[in-house]
Structure 1
Amino acid sequence: MGLFMLSRDTGADALGAPWLAAHQRHGFTERRNLTAAGWRLNLFGKLNGSAPQLFERSSDEFAACSGVLFYRGAATDTALERLLEDFDGRRFPWSECRGHFAVLIHKFGQLYLATDALGAYKVYHDGERHHWSSSFTAIRQTLPDHPQADPQGVYEYAWNGATYGTRTFLRDIHQLRCGSLLRFGQSVELLAEEAVLDCQPAPARSLDETAEDYAARLRALFRVYACGGGQFRTALSGGYDSRLMLALLLDAGLTPQIYVYGRDNDDDVQVAKAIARGEGLELEHVDKSQQAPPASAARIERAWVRFDGWKNDGLFDSGVDAEDRLVRAPRGVSVLNGSAGEIFRNFFYLPERTYRPVELVWSFYSRIDPRTITPAFDLQAYESAMALDLSKALGHDGQKRFSRIELEALYPLHRARYWTARDVGLNQRFGPLLFPFMEATIMRGTEAIPLSQKNYGVLEAKIIERISPALARYPSAYGYVPTQGPSLRYRLKMQATFQRPPWLRRWSYRVQQWRAPRLTDEWLQAARLAEGLDPALPAMREFFKPEAVRDADVLNRICTMELALQGLPHPFTPRSE
């Protein structure tokens, strides 16, 4: 299923006619309506034309899924049937589930909502908790014409590409933080939340033992994926994550369709072609820079629908991305995505010691250009809010220092749970997308892997070699063969990053922006923006000086928030060419 909307049953459809018409125009044509326990449920199929995923056992019992769910080794209707049979109304069987999803169950005269263990498939709700949806814009269209922005959420999204915790960039739209089980009746009751990582030290193991453990977990996961049937498709690049997925697909006896993005002379393309040639695999080369943009009429509206009002880098582009994602996910094909493979590597590249929460903010959430902000920005408030949410991800109150294990846990529990998760939800709108490194069964324990095994991708290279010695022998885009390890030059390069203290990293982005040229991106020029919104960006001027922005992604996100804040009805009527 592509998306769902759950609202208190007042006798009227909570989804307005303009929202429905736009979604039908741009691919959400399959729809089912149900009522249960005083709530009205709208289910929509995916953009690839697949129908909503719904299993009805009787007039009083059903299970529906938005996203992708595997349960007890089964997929689609069989998974929902088994889940409906097993569910006891008190606990959700997260340990038996795979995929990223929101499941709605009506049983015992009660209506329940559960999300995947990590909470990667995001569910949004309004401030009064009358409307719940996997669609941000579905909740947005229930709000007044001119909703209030959330200042912290505005700055988080503009500078980091996502919002964190329960916050969004609109004050009256909230998101579930983690894997949750809720019951819907006269009120909405939180029954349980799932803890993915325990952040405890692990017994000492050799590199070979660690690699064997995770190779076995990944093989078991891909056997579950294979049970869903159909074809599989995956990208192949010069890095480790896509190569590991290819190794796992081949190991599972599958023959995936593989493709690579980039220009002819890109390292990713050269490495992928060498692997495909050497292993006798067919490879599709996709150079997006050579693809003609789709017709611009309704271009912004199409992006608003398909990307649910916002994506990590903003909505304002040529439209090639939206078309490519749809082409990649036809019916009967499951696409794999290697996001969050960093769980096997040293993502943060900080020395092994304890850290104050604010030091993590300085290191990774300080992409601030002072020239672009107005007096509305409060640096101390911004840093304090980010530090508190990092702490909450670990179950702390904001005062405790992070151990190195806790720091490693923040990659899956904060970075992946929010920034990567937005792409999980968006991709699931197009077709079935699988994110193996975002699975709780794979993430568990990675926070306690010694840095000596994570550094330079040593562990991931060993896992690849365990599963496919042949694939491990090809060079990577990092300039070395995985089985041989990094060169001295590469190690020295990474050490330069490793030794930079948090207080210094805080200034890196600002220095870069002082030297950045003025933006020339066609799709962010006033004439292009005027196709869908006021290019003066009046709402965002409370927070930013748009003409001073030199980062295309930041300006794109500012424009995206302006679009969300403009008056209803949504979507706008595109101007003629």
Structure 2
Amino acid sequence: GGFILYNVRKDWRDLFRRLQSAMRWDDDYHQRELAPAGSQLRAFAMGRRFIPISKVTFDNRYHSILFGEIYAQNKTGQEDIHRALLRRWLASGAQALSETDGAFLLLVWDDAEQKLFIANDAFGLFPLNYANRPDGFFFASQLTALATLLNRAEFDEQALAERMFLGFPLNGRTYLKDVRRLPPGSLLEFRDGHVNVSRYFRPMYDYQTRRPLQERLRAVEQLFASAVQKRYRPDERAAIALSGGFDTRLIWSVALNKGLDAAAATHGASRSADMVIARQIAAGLKLPHSAFDLDALPAQQFPDWSEELIRMSDGLMPASAFFIIPYYRFLQQNFDVLIDGAGGALYRRQHAATFEWQQKRGLSPESFTFRLFLKPAFKHRDLFPAWKQDFTEPIRQELSDYFTRTSPLGAPADRIDLFYLQQIVGLLYSADFLLQTHFINCREPFYDLQLFAAGRTFSPQERKKLFIHRHIIERNFPALTEYPLEFQDYALPYRGFLWKRMTAAATDRFHLPFAGRRLQKFPPLFDQAAFLRRHGRDYLFDLLLASGAQTGRRAAPKALEKILNEHFGGTTDHTGLLFQLLGLELTLRLFNRLLTGSKL
């Protein structure tokens, strides 16, 4: 499902039928086809009916499809916006894309030059994978589609190792050899069998400016209000995410100030801090509130949801997030659009500030990043001995190459945040975004070009002190400061949050009972460890230790069995590692079926 585009050979109709059979589309999907006469191009944009897909032709030469949305204050139709973007792009080139705010994939075919152009939005919210091979040029938003189409494709073992050790493949790698992922803010050009990829969006850092703090705060306040309003339409049934954290509260401060008609949407355990605080806010401000209680999840659905999550996200979403499948279905039944708080970390990111402190001890950006994202799978030295031996140094080298390439864009501390934006946001979040669009149209105010540029004028230290978040909330709707904030399952008072947060972190890290008594801690948003222990034993043993298990071909079987016995025997908690292994096994099984031509 989602968005599928590809360029294939003369047998494209047979391939398309195979793709349709494998991907399980239904009547809720619509499509646009681009097949200019005299060309070898066959492109299909497919998605749920609430995702706009427009098709325009310009000067009888340029044929274009736009999948997704471009956000504009005037709320004109997407086809008119698409046509205007095409005109600007033909006049000014990539600069037109760098000024376009939205979540989209754009395809343009130049009939005269027989050239194909594909661009994604600046943040790469919709993924695009491509393969240039002797038998054709193929491209698709979902890697599972390419796995269905490509003959004799093979796994990229380093990408799989990077997924296990860091949580994501690096620098455009995918799970399939010869298939690359388009970086965020990029333009791909294909002609005569050759591919050229250029970056039109390279975020710069401007916090050395002498503009006063209050002036910068007023600018970012106005831009954030504009970002929220551009993503809201009064004719839609809108839900705005509401949790116990800062990011969704920012959106609600603007929504309440501007009088937007929307319901609050929350998911979590009934007694979690997120749910408790969200219910307090909804009751106190008389907001319509749709709460999805994770305590009521039927355990027998766990395998199906896990497999569906992996399938719809191309194996990039962590398997521990399986519970978002029923949550998105819940939203689908009640709303047309979800305005979400993802991306708020870009305006309060602390990695750069943390690195500046560790840099004084001689730590390099690549070493810091490697340690920051390291997963439990790497620490079990006997679990993946071959991967650790073959890929540890190549992974470090890839990180080093990344920081060398981006050196013109800022100081090392700045490029730590840039890594988060381009690798994490541009990969893991885009997988979640594509997953969401199977169920509901999702819009993200924090991923706004003008807002992002204004946020780059704040130093890491200023972002760490939450100047942006606090200013917008207190200026737009001060009543929201009366409610506590969630931090690591604690409910901390808004006033003095920064100091209390330090106390809460120290309480958890150093087990300080005297501090814990002064702070209220709640159950987690979803107790994955308890759920796995109660309901996952048979499923995981059968899946990971079966004779046909894909993970067993890469992991040491005895080490794998030892981890399972330790966890379910109660001696050691391996929850995080087991969910990693579950995700890897499901991903390998999924792509193995596709590569061998089996039905999903």
Q: Which residue of the partner structure matches residue 128 of structure 2?
A: 123
Any idea what SS the aligned residue of 1:30 has?
strand
Question: 534, 541, 555: which is aligned to 1:544?
Answer: 555
Give the aligned partner of residue 383 of structure 2: 373
Where do 1:298-447 residues align within 5 Å? Answer: 302-303=308-309, 305=311, 307-314=312-319, 317=322, 321-329=324-332, 333-348=336-351, 350=354, 352-353=356-357, 354=359, 355-367=363-375, 368-371=378-381, 373-378=383-388, 381-382=391-392, 384-386=394-396, 388-389=398-399, 392=402, 395-396=405-406, 403-444=412-453, 446-447=455-456
SS class of match (2:473): helix
Moved more, 275-284 or 178-187: 178-187
Q: 1:390 to 1:344 in 2, by over 3 A?
A: farther
Question: Which one of the candidate residues 561, 574, 585 is aligned to 1:559?
Answer: 585
For the pair 1:136 / 2:146, whether they are aligned, the reply is: no
**Per the alignment, do residues 52 and 277 of structure 1 end up closer, same or farther by CA in structure 2, a change over 3 Å counting?**
closer
CA contact (8 A) 1:180 1:190 kept: no
Which residue among 203, 216, 219 is the counterpart of 1:213?
219
Equivalences for residues 99-498 of structure 1 within 5 A: 99-107=102-110, 109=112, 110-128=115-133, 130-144=137-151, 147-190=153-196, 192-226=198-232, 230-292=236-298, 302-303=308-309, 305=311, 307-314=312-319, 317=322, 321-329=324-332, 333-348=336-351, 350=354, 352-353=356-357, 354=359, 355-367=363-375, 368-371=378-381, 373-378=383-388, 381-382=391-392, 384-386=394-396, 388-389=398-399, 392=402, 395-396=405-406, 403-444=412-453, 446-447=455-456, 449-478=458-487, 479-482=491-494, 484-486=495-497, 488-494=499-505
Distance 1:567 1:132 in 2: 20
Q: Is the 8 A contact 1:19 1:570 kept in 2?
A: no
- Shift of residue 275, structure 1, vs aligned partner: 1.1
The residue number in structure 2 matching 1:69 is: 70
SS in structure 2 of the partner of residue 162 of structure 1: coil
Deviations 1:277-316, CA, capped at 9 Å, x for gaps: 12121111111230336879976775565x1432421399
Mapped contact 2:3–2:141 kept (Cα < 8 A) = yes
One-letter amino acid of the counterpart of residue 469, structure 1? P
Q: Counterpart amino acid of 2:70?
A: L
Q: Paired residue for 1:43, among 45, 54, 62?
A: 45
CA distance in 2, matches of 1:541, 1:295: 25
Q: Distance in 2 between matches of 1:534 and 1:54?
A: 48
- Counterpart position of 2:526: none
Q: Tell me, which stretches of 5 or more residues in structure 2 are unaligned?
A: 511-528, 564-573
Q: Which residue of 1 aligns with 2:515?
A: none
Deviation at 1:94, TM superposition (A): 2.4
- Aligned-residue offset at 1:350: 1.4
Amino acid in structure 1 at the alignment position of 2:554: F
User: Does the 8 Å CA contact 2:123/2:422 hold for their aligned counterparts?
Assistant: yes
Change (3 A) 1:452 1:316: closer
1:360 positional shift: 1.7
Greater Cα shift, 379-388 or 212-221: 379-388
SS in 2 for 1:130: strand
Counterparts of 1:34 and 1:245, CA distance in 2: 38
**1:13: how far off?**
3.0
- Alpha-carbon distance in structure 1 between the residues aligned to 2:372 and 2:199: 27
Question: Aligned partners of 1:524 and 1:441: how far apart in 2?
Answer: 49
Distance in 1 (CA, whole Å) between partners of 2:485 and 2:594 is 49
Q: Distance in 1 between matches of 2:334 and 2:321?
A: 27
In the superposition, the TM-score normalised over structure 1's length comes to 0.82
Farther off after superposition, 182-191 or 150-159: 182-191
Structure 1: which 5+ runs fail to align?
500-515
Q: Alpha-carbon deviations, 1:519-546, whole Å to 9, x = none?
A: 647457448966xx99445433343234
Q: CA deviation at 1:432?
A: 2.0
The sequence identity of aligned pairs, in percent, is 17
Secondary structure of the corresponding residue to residue 376 of structure 1:
helix
Q: How many residues align?
A: 548
Q: Secondary structure at the match of 1:378?
A: helix
- Paired position in structure 2 for 1:5: 5
The aligned counterpart of 2:513 is: none
Distance (whole Å) between structure 2 residues aligned to residue 16 and residue 278 of structure 1: 53
Partner of 1:171, secondary structure, is coil
Q: Which has the higher helix share?
A: 2
TM-score (norm 2): 0.79
Q: Please give the alpha-carbon distance, in whole angstroms, between the structure 1 residues aligned to 2:286 and 2:4.
A: 42
Contact map agreement 1:456 1:491 (CA 8 A) in 2:
no
Question: Mean Cα displacement is larger for which, 164-173 or 99-108?
Answer: 99-108
Q: Secondary structure of the equivalent of 1:111? A: strand
Note closer, same or farther for the CA distance 1:309–1:197 as it changes in structure 2 (3 Å cut): closer
Amino acid at match of 2:64: A
| Distance apart, 1:390 and its partner CA | 6.4
Deviation at 1:565, TM superposition (A): 4.1
In structure 2, distance between residues paired with 1:212 and 1:387: 42
- 2:384 corresponds to which letter in structure 1? T
Q: Does the CA-based 8 Å contact 2:350-2:460 persist in structure 1?
A: no
